[in-house]
Amino acid sequence: MRDLFNPTPEHKALRDMARSFVEAEVEPQALEHDRAERFNQPLFRRLGDLGLLGVTVDERWGGSGLDAVAAVIAHEELSASDPGLCLAYLAHSMLFANNLSLNGSDAQRARYLPGACSGALVGGMCMSEPDAGTDVLGMRTSARVVDGGYVLNGAKMWITNGALDDHTLGDVFLVYARVEGDARAALSMLIVEKGDAGFSLGQRIKDKLGMRASGTAELVFEDCFVPAERLVGERGAATLHMMRNLELERLTLAAMSLGIARRCVEIMNSYASDRAAFGKPLRDYGQIQAHIADSYAAYMAGRSYVYNVAASLSLDSAGNRVDSDGVKLYCARMAKEVADRAIQVLGGYGYVGEYNVERLWRDARLLEIGGGTNEAHQKNMTRDLAKVRALR
């Protein structure tokens, strides 16, 4: 029978490699970097050594040339230990590298993707703004056409990999902006590099509830000149790039939820066997049984949904927004609820960092906000389902 979660020997080998790497190198540092709110850049570069930073990028540009299922596997395995590091990985590998691989020119791919795939460059994507998140059409960052290129003005907010530490920008970003004079719905995408005049770190955002091992920042553009050759694709055509990449982003965010939920189920299952109360193992009590059984069933339902969607998702086309929204809507909520149950099973031990479920609960909370809020997914799905009269 076909294995839904490891459909080919290559997928199984990828999972085994990623899980071994996580156990040996990711897990030992996860709590420390969360507490310090520090991005582990050397460990991030190790993901390049394993071929994960360009997991979906064509081999011509230094990537592994794999599919959406492979991307899901990588995110599930990494987030089971360190969701903060995994979020930095997602912003780089999905929002920057995959996006540029699909939509960039050969010259742009050759310039940026080998470094992105090796880890020599840390990339990100800039869409959200201080006054525009879910409301993409409220975007105010503008680009003015000048001789030889564009002059960019505005600010982007909540940018993962925007800051590698308190003072250091990430290396390269895909920036969505509206070219002055173009239609309101027409967005363009420009490549901006660290060191470009007028490009600066506004503030590194600290004291976050969760995902503390990833660097989040405000990025500022003040008369920032961007050469014409750094326009990605056609001017005014970036909305399609955005929609196509959002489907993969939401799928991999759902995969992160799976990793969080799986780890929480494992922890509460083990703890309930090892800990006794009133002369019996915790797992003999009905209340604890409900927490464990309900969590496992919810995790497996989400996992089946995610891998079914991944198997049908084409990286180079859009068209399954109902289910890319649906998997994230379901799994983000599921992961938070499973983590919450795990804290309840562990009691006081669940409330402290040493047992991990406290950190995983905090990290899970972002997944109901970032990459699209639950409310945005519900709106999108309801609007798209209105066009459907029968579910197949």
* Whole-number pLDDT of residue 392: 76
Task: Write out the catalytic residue numbers.
Answer: 249
Rounded CA separation 165/148 (Å): 33
What are the residue boundaries of the structural domains of the chain, listed by start? 9-122, 124-232, 238-385
Is the CB of residue 202 less than 8 Å from the CB of residue 129? Answer: no
* Exposed / middle / buried, residue 105 (Cβ in 10 Å: 0-12, 13-18, 19+): middle
* Whole-number pLDDT of residue 137: 74
* Whole-number pLDDT of residue 272: 97
4-32: pLDDT as tens digits = 999 999 999 999 999 999 999 999 999 99
342-391: pLDDT as tens digits = 999 999 999 999 899 999 999 999 999 999 999 999 999 999 999 987 88
301-332: pLDDT as tens digits = 999 999 999 999 988 876 789 999 999 999 99
| Cβ-based neighbours of 250, under 8 Å, separated by 6 or more | 324, 325, 327, 328, 371, 372, 377
* Whole-number pLDDT of residue 318: 66
Q: What is the average per-residue pLDDT within 112-141?
A: 91
Task: Give the domain 238-385 fold.
Answer: Butyryl-CoA Dehydrogenase, subunit A; domain 3 (1.20.140)
Task: Tell me if the domain spanning 9-122 has CATH number 1.10.3720.10.
Answer: no
Task: Give the domain 124-232 fold.
Answer: Butyryl-CoA Dehydrogenase, subunit A; domain 2 (2.40.110)
Residue 274 is encoded by which pair of tokens? Answer: 């090892």
**Residue 135: band (very low, low, confident or very high) from pLDDT cuts 50, 70, 90:** confident
136-179: pLDDT as tens digits = 778 899 999 999 999 999 999 999 999 999 999 999 999 999 99
